[in-house]
Amino acid sequence: MKRLSDIKFSTLDLVPVRENGSAAQSLHNSLDLAQHVEKFGYNRFWVAEHHNMDGIASSATSVLLGYLAGGTSTIRVGSGGVMLPNHAPLVIAEQFGTLESLYPGRIDLGLGRAPGSDQMTARALRRERSGSADDFPEDVTELMRYLGPRTPDQRIIAMPGTGTNVPIWLLGSSLFSAQLAGERGLPYAFASHFAPRFMHEAIRVYRNHFKPSAVLDKPYVMLGVPLVAADTDEQADYLATSVYQRILALMRGQSLVQRPPVKTMDGLWLPHEKEAVGDFLGLAMVGSPQKIRAKLDVLIEQTQADELIFTCDLYEHADRLHSYELLAQVMKG
């Protein structure tokens, strides 16, 4: 049985844009956060591809990863994830092959099969490409071929890319990628930071379908976890209202820019919306270090996860840094 001190812990940064803030400020904050969590002992720092969202500044994921890797020295950096249907596999192989060539042994390539946007934006991204989520297994195979060793009959190569063997992860919020990751013997990250409902079933499917590969000899599960850690439970509850407002805006189709915390959410959401936000954040760790430690112990006992990756979307950058620092102390016991 795993204990909390056995578990690796990482950061997923959604590069949030504040109300009255700017994308430039958010990108600089992302590097500052990466530098801090590197010192705190975090294992990896991932950013996610989203498009047409005014509150998230990580759309040019591979470009941002170059900035983050260049400003850090030891922490792994990667995509959590690249939405592969939006791209030709060769382009992603070249981008991440370049990153791996510049920062060897520090790059992760997490892949998702959703567009990471609405359908109109997805069409704008692809233009004449016919790619879709249905092509995902074949696209993963093609991408792995470009990043693997060059074969004598290979007519198309990724340069840089060929022979780099950038570690590939499959990401998912449903059961499809769980089964595919198991069958391919790849590490699997479940998006329980926004879709906790299927977490236990996805883990079961992944482990039941797992076949050892050149990459892994046994399953490796990473879980996404929302985080709001503060010195007291009351302070954490207050800071969490920024997160609640953002999820509420997402559900209503409104602007996703970060809003400052409020004393109460009463009057801001309807009862059914409060319930929906609660379901979305069902795995959230909100509270003092003592409260979060107790909740994490239960999570590890129930899932036997190998790694947890935390996302923390607080309004003040200093509060985010403090939250991740408190969590590091909890994880190290």
- Separation of alpha carbons 246 and 257, rounded Å: 7
Establish how many alpha carbons lie within 13 A of residue 325's alpha carbon, considering only the half-sphere containing its beta carbon.
12
Ordered by where they begin, the domains of the chain are 4-229+284-331 (3.20.20.30)
Residue 143 has what pLDDT? 96
Q: Which residue has the tokens 């696209």?
A: 139
- In terms of phi and psi (left: phi > 0; alpha: psi -120 to 50; beta: otherwise), the region of 161 is left
Residue 2 has what pLDDT? 85
Work out whether strand 168-172 and strand 188-190 pair parallel, antiparallel, or are unpaired. parallel
The reported pTM is 0.94
Residue 3 has what pLDDT? 86
Residue 133 has what pLDDT? 56
Residue 128 has what pLDDT? 54
Q: Residues of the chain whose pLDDT is less than 50?
A: none
Contact 80, 171 (CB under 8 A): yes
Helix (H, G, I), strand (E, B) or coil at 175: coil
Degrees to nearest 5, angle at CA 226 with 224 and 229: 135
Q: How far is CA 308 from the centre of its chain?
A: 10
DSSP 16: B
Measured over all CA atoms, what is the biggest interatomic distance in the chain, rounded to whole angstroms?
A: 66
Residue 134 has what pLDDT? 74
